[in-house]
Structure formats: C-alpha cells, structure tokens
C-alpha cells in the first residue's frame, strides 16, 4: 500500500487556495479521502472556475525519486493528460484513458494488467482503463547526465509502502523544474510547465554544437512537421503536437530572436536547424509539448468537490 499526502497553498489575487490530497494506493485499486469542509459561499469567495484556473496556472510538480519507484526513474510529474517519468536516457510520457464498457469481465482483465481500478466520479462505479507510453529518447546523449530539481516547492510527498517502515519514504521533495546538466557536451536540458503544457529548453553554451541534439520518439507510429511548423507525433490514440520552437539568444540583456525549425531525421527522430545565430553567445531552443489536447488523454486527477471557507481558502478533494 502507498499513501501520498500533500498540501498546496496558492494565492491568486491575494486569496489563499489550500489543496490537500490524501491518496492511498494498493496493488488492486485506488482509494481517496472524500472528506471536505463544507461552508457557505460568499460573493467574495473563489468560485469553482477561479480555483480550476488557478490550478491550471500552477507550475508542474516534479517529484524526486527517493526509492519509491524504479531506480531508473529520477523524477515524476502528473501533467494533466499524462504522467511523465524522467530518466537519464529520456522522458517517458504515459497516457491513460477510461474505456466505456458495461462488460465487467473486460474491466477485470484491465485491472489485472495495470494494477489499478479507477472509479467513476459520478456514480462511483469501476471503469476499465488502458494506458499507452511513448518515449522521447535522447539519441547520442551523455550516458550519465547530472539530474537535479530546480526551485523546490513548499510541500512534500509521503509514501508508505507495505508494513515495513524501511520501505516508507517521507518528506519527498517536489520541484517546479528538472534540469539535465550536460545532456550533450556543452548543452543542458530543462523541463518545466503548468497544468496545460510542458516546455523543455535546450540551453546551448557558447561554442557548443546544437546539431548534437537528436530526439527519437519510441512507440510512435510516425512524426511529421505541419504547415505551422509544429512537430506532430502520431500514436495509436491520435496526435500529440509540439509547437514550433522559440529560439533566441541573449546579448547585453537583450533577447534576440533566431529563425529556426524542426528537422526530421530517420527512425522517428528529429533535431533542429537555424540560421543567423552567433556561436559565441548562449542559445536557447524552447519547444512546447501540448499534452492537454491529447486525444483521449486522461490522468485520474478528478476532483469530487470544491469548497471555500470564510477565510477564502479553497479545499479540493478527489482521486487520481
């Protein structure tokens, strides 16, 4: 059994938002605390829509692996329509969706395969699920880049696994970004984002060769570049898009836009091409992964209810 408890406090427009989740996981189902403090709403209190918007604008929370997951994983983030796992050789994007079926046998099969049993938030009935994973593999990268969290967040996570206290992991830190140092020679990689999108920056040091960068999408059916310059990754469930990269350099505190694009390579891989940049200055390549519009995507981050107390603190309960 795994228990994960965390609290988030936001202050949108000078109003506190306090979010507390108590999550207990077993090998067969997911169970959540459903208690909520119910109070009267006032005209000055946050609305459900305001709270939802605040959550969507929050930075993603990258949780460090301190032994609660496979040792290959260094960080994990729940990102709206996906769960993302970060390892030294690449980023794994895991998408989950429910299957609308009244066939209990199918539900049972899926439960056994994936080890969880989500519940319909309206009628609390078990639903079948399926998952799919694609991997952004850093081709030719350094085998052991230094991975570290950036900008530690205020709250911690706790994982109580089984009955042996030696397997419990408490006060696990969370960060607003993850940095790969020297993923390629002279190049760092930073992941960050909010509830709507994931960004990653390749930070190229002066004199380093950006053409080292090569990302292969393993598990994808194909990749292509559309008329808007976006990278379209086709999977068995639909398409995931990466916006046309924003590329720039900084000189004398001025940001200089650089013209550049994706370039397709063999085996579902891609890199970048650009013109007019100064190799003597740092270079930033900044694509955006649009996972929130993923076809059929669903993370089980469902809120049963939202309430706001007299002090303006909003309480959200649900399951994931």
Selection from 21, 9, 57, 63 nearest residue 175 by Cα: 63
Reported confidence tier of residue 197, pLDDT bands at 50, 70, 90: confident
Tell me the H-state helices in the chain. Answer: 48-57, 104-114
Beta bridge partners of 113: none
Of the listed ranges 196-200, 203-207, 294-298, the least confidently predicted one is 294-298
For the segment 60-109, what is each residue's pLDDT rounded down to a tens digit?
899 999 999 999 999 999 876 688 999 999 999 998 877 766 554 444 44
Asked if 161 and 167 touch (Cβ cutoff 8 Å), the reply is: yes
The predicted structure's pLDDT at residue 160 = 84
User: Using one digit for the tens of pLDDT, what is the confidence trace for 264-280?
Assistant: 999 999 999 999 999 99
pLDDT at 192: 94
- C-alpha separations of 307 from 4, 57, 120, 310 in Å: 22, 19, 21, 10
pLDDT mean over 188-198: 85
Q: Are the beta carbons of 101 and 107 closer than 8 angstroms?
A: yes
90: Cβ contacts below 8 Å, ≥ 6 apart:
135, 136, 137, 138, 218
Confidence at residue 21, expressed as pLDDT on a 0 to 100 scale? 37
Give pLDDT tens digits for 248-265: 999 998 999 999 999 999
Residues 123, 100: Cα–Cα separation, whole Å: 14
Give the three-class secondary structure for 153.
Answer: strand
**pLDDT score, position 52:** 52
Question: Cα torsion at 25, 30, 33, 39 (round to 10°)?
Answer: 140
State how far the alpha carbon of 208 is from the alpha carbons of 161, 189, 202, 211, 213, in Å. 44, 14, 12, 9, 11
35 — pLDDT class (breaks 50, 70, 90): very low
More confident of the two residues 59 and 25: 59
**8 A C-beta contact, residue 281 and residue 252:** no
In the numeric block, the tokens 């030294």 are attached to: 88
pLDDT of amino acid 66? 93
Q: Average of pLDDT values for 175-184?
A: 97
Beta bridge partners of 4: 23
pLDDT digits (tens, 9 = 90+) for 37-53: 333 334 444 455 555 55
Separation of alpha carbons 94 and 148, rounded Å: 21
At 96-134, the pLDDT tens digits run 877 766 554 444 444 444 344 454 445 555 567 788 999
Q: Average pLDDT for residues 298-318, to the nearest whole number?
A: 53
How much is the mean pLDDT over the chain? Answer: 75
């Amino acid at each position: 059994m795994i228990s994960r408890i965390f609290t988030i406090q936001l202050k949108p427009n000078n109003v506190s938002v306090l979010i507390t989740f108590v999550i207990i996981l077993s090998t067969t189902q997911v169970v959540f605390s459903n208690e909520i403090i119910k109070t009267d709403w006032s005209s000055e209190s946050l609305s459900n829509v305001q709270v939802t918007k605040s959550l969507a604008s929050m930075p993603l929370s990258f949780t460090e692996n301190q032994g609660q997951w496979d040792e290959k994983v260094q960080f994990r983030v729940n990102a709206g329509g996906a769960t993302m796992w970060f390892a030294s050789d690449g980023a794994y994007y895991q998408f989950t969706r429910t299957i609308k079926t009244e066939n209990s046998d199918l539900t049972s099969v899926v439960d056994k395969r994936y080890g969880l049993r989500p519940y319909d938030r309206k009628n609390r009935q078990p639903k079948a699920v399926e998952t799919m994973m694609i991997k952004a593999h850093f081709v030719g990268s350094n085998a052991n880049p230094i991975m570290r969290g950036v900008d530690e967040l205020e709250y911690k996570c706790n994982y109580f696994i089984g009955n042996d206290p030696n397997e419990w992991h408490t006060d696990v830190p969370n960060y607003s970004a993850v940095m790969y140092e020297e993923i390629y020679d002279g190049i760092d990689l930073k992941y960050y984002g909010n509830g709507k999108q994931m960004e990653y920056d390749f930070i190229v040091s002066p004199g380093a060769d950006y053409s080292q960068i090569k990302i292969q999408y393993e598990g994808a059916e194909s990749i292509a570049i559309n008329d808007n310059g976006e990278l379209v990754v086709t999977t068995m469930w639909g398409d995931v898009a990466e916006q046309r990269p924003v590329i720039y350099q900084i000189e004398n505190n001025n940001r200089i836009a650089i013209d550049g694009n994706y370039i397709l390579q063999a085996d579902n891989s891609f890199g970048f091409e650009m013109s007019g940049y100064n190799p003597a200055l740092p270079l930033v390549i900044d694509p955006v992964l649009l996972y929130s519009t993923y076809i059929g995507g669903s993370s089980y981050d469902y809120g049963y209810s939202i309430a706001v107390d007299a002090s303006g603190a909003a309480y959200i309960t649900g399951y994931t």
